[in-house]
């Protein structure tokens, strides 16, 4: 059983998957930073300085009181039930960026695969034996005349 597990764990697909998960996690952090530190501040500036991370709707009296003090989303969430649609918008932007990048990567890989798989132009096929024989006879008759 240990030998079977070793063969499974060391298969190329499992190792490739593990590497993909690790790189995916690192890529997710890069996208999170891109969205939180670059894209959302630009969108906030365009929309008049709105901080999307603090957009929320109070669902309880405790959260309403906390929102009136002007503290951030995390503290309001501790005070009571709150619907944090600003956080949701940020996650949606993250998803769109990741989906777009993955789409472009897959598209490029498919293009490379098609280029590799494109068969070389085939040489013209030799005519069948009977056609070759008839051509030879025609040529001989043409020489006799």
Domain membership of residue 23 (yes or no) is yes
What is the pLDDT at residue 124? 76
Domain membership of residue 131 (yes or no) is no
Domain membership of residue 74 (yes or no) is yes
Spatial separation of the C-alpha atoms in residues 59 and 82, rounded to whole Å: 5
Domain membership of residue 92 (yes or no) is yes
Domain membership of residue 136 (yes or no) is no
> Across all residues in the chain, what is the average pLDDT?
83
Taken as a whole, the chain contains a residue count of 145
What is the pLDDT at residue 120? 67
pTM of the model: 0.56
The dihedral sign for the CA sequence 104, 108, 113, 115: positive
Spatial separation of the C-alpha atoms in residues 55 and 66, rounded to whole Å: 13
Spatial separation of the C-alpha atoms in residues 129 and 136, rounded to whole Å: 11
Q: What is the pLDDT of residues 58-107, one digit of tens each?
A: 888 888 888 888 788 888 888 888 888 888 888 888 888 888 888 888 89
Domain membership of residue 96 (yes or no) is yes
b vs e for 3-25, b when ≥16 Cβ sit within 10 Å of the residue's Cβ?
Answer: eeeeeeeeeeeeeeeeeeeeeee
Domain membership of residue 105 (yes or no) is yes
Residue 41 sits in a domain of what CATH number? 1.10.1200.120
Given a cut of 80, whether residue 5 has pLDDT beyond it is no
Domain membership of residue 62 (yes or no) is yes
Please give the structure tokens belonging to residue 117: 């798989």
The confidence band for 132, taking pLDDT boundaries of 50, 70 and 90, is confident
Q: How many domains does the chain have?
A: 1
**Range of the structural domain that residue 17 is part of:** 2-117
Distance of CA 138 to the CA centre of its chain: 64
The confidence band for 12, taking pLDDT boundaries of 50, 70 and 90, is low
Across 9-33, average pLDDT: 82
């Amino acid at each position: 059983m240990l030998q079977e597990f070793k063969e499974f764990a060391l298969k190329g697909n499992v190792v490739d998957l593990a590497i993909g998960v690790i790189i995916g996690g690192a890529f997710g952090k890069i996208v999170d930073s891109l969205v939180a530190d670059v894209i959302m501040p630009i969108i906030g500036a365009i929309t008049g300085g709105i901080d999307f991370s603090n957009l929320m709707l109070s669902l309880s009296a405790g959260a309403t009181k906390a929102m009136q003090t002007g503290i951030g989303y995390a503290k309001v969430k501790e005070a009571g039930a709150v619907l944090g649609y600003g956080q949701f918008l940020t996650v949606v932007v993250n998803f769109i960026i990741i989906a777009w990048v993955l789409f472009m990567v897959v598209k490029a890989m498919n293009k490379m695969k098609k280029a590799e798989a494109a068969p070389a132009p085939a040489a013209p096929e030799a005519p069948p034996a009977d056609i070759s024989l008839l051509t030879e006879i025609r040529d001989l008759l043409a020489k006799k005349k």
